[in-house]
Amino acid sequence: MPISTAGPEPEAAAAAASEARRWMQVAEACSPLRLHAIAEDRPPVESAVVGFHDPAEDLRRRGDEWGFDVGAGDLAALARFAAGLAATEADAWRDDAPDVALRAYEARRFLLADRILHWAVPWLDAAGRCHPEARMVTHRARDELLALGEEHRAAPRLTGTEGVYPPGEDAYGPVEIPALPGRWLDSVWSGTVLFRATIASLTGDADAPRGLSGELIDRHRDDLTLLYRIAGARWRRRAVEFPGSASLWLDLSTRAEATAGWLEVTRAR
């Protein structure tokens, strides 16, 4: 079938092909070999960053729909999956198959919004702060994901959330801090990502575990409170800078501030 030169198809194909290249750059930047030392500290996988659920079945289903093996679901694999979807969209526009192109576009947009943006941006942001040797790479990938989130309007700020999420939840999940605070602080649900390097800098112990025991929380409560206050302010700025994903960063800001407040309130208990 001859390729049509009328209408938006050539422009759409070029835009999708360009996005495929951008996704591959993210995949290369986040390859396990390149970020091996950081991944040993905390792997770039949603289940490890969130800690309260494992999206493996959802990722497998999404990959199977397009014949893609997501493997362990690490950030590099998900970026390659998104790149493949963008390339499929570009090919479909060129082949005058708009239904396939739109399906590939929607699959990529939902992949970004549901399975990448909310945890990968905080992981990359914290990775660059905790591992200065990789800051240029991780923060460049972070900024690319933020730009993609802006273009896809993956999670824009909502005028109201009533009826959007179950009571007591936001875009991430339940907002109540559980009885085991160490597990909460080990999750991005607390408002930021704590690497082992972060805890080592607080404790002065290079061999400190990544998790925080109750004793360590009590001993370093002031430092942790300040860390979460700073994180809350940083996510508020992100929400202003990137309105296309602002609802995520506003939720993280609220969570970080709530964690800081919890650290202050529980001091006297």
Same domain, 192 and 132: no
Radius of gyration from C-alpha coordinates of the chain: 20
**Range 248-269 average pLDDT:** 91
| C-alpha 257: how far from chain center | 19
Of 62, 207, 243, 45, nearest to 127 (Cα)? 45
Same domain, 207 and 143: no
Residue 169 and residue 250 in contact, taking contact as beta carbons nearer than 8 Å = no
Does residue 1 surpass a pLDDT of 60? no
**Range 112-116 average pLDDT:** 97
Find the domain containing 115 and state its range: 9-152
Least confident interval from 176-180, 190-194, 245-249: 176-180
Angle between helices 56-65 and 98-111 (to 10 degrees): 160
Q: Tell me: the pLDDT tens digits for 145-180?
A: 999 999 999 999 876 655 578 889 999 999 999 877
**Range 200-218 average pLDDT:** 76
Does residue 129 surpass a pLDDT of 60? yes
Tell me the pLDDT band of 213, cut-offs 50, 70 and 90: confident
The tokens for 209 are 């575990």
**How many domains does the chain fold into?**
2
Residue 208 and residue 195 in contact, taking contact as beta carbons nearer than 8 Å = no
- Check residue 74 and give its pLDDT: 97
Q: Any idea which residue has 């490890």 for tokens?
A: 48
Same domain, 143 and 229: no
- H or E segment and range at residue 137: helix 135-152
Does residue 3 surpass a pLDDT of 60? no
Q: How many H helices and E strands in the chain?
A: 13, 0
**In this structure, is residue 176 part of a structural domain?**
no
Residue 254 and residue 172 in contact, taking contact as beta carbons nearer than 8 Å = no
Q: Tell me: the pLDDT tens digits for 5-60?
A: 445 578 999 999 999 999 999 999 999 888 988 988 899 999 999 999 999 999 99
Domain boundary among 131, 152, 173: 152
Q: Which amino acid is at 36?
A: H
Does residue 144 surpass a pLDDT of 70? yes
**In this structure, is residue 157 part of a structural domain?**
no
Rounded Cα distance, 45 and 39, in Å: 9
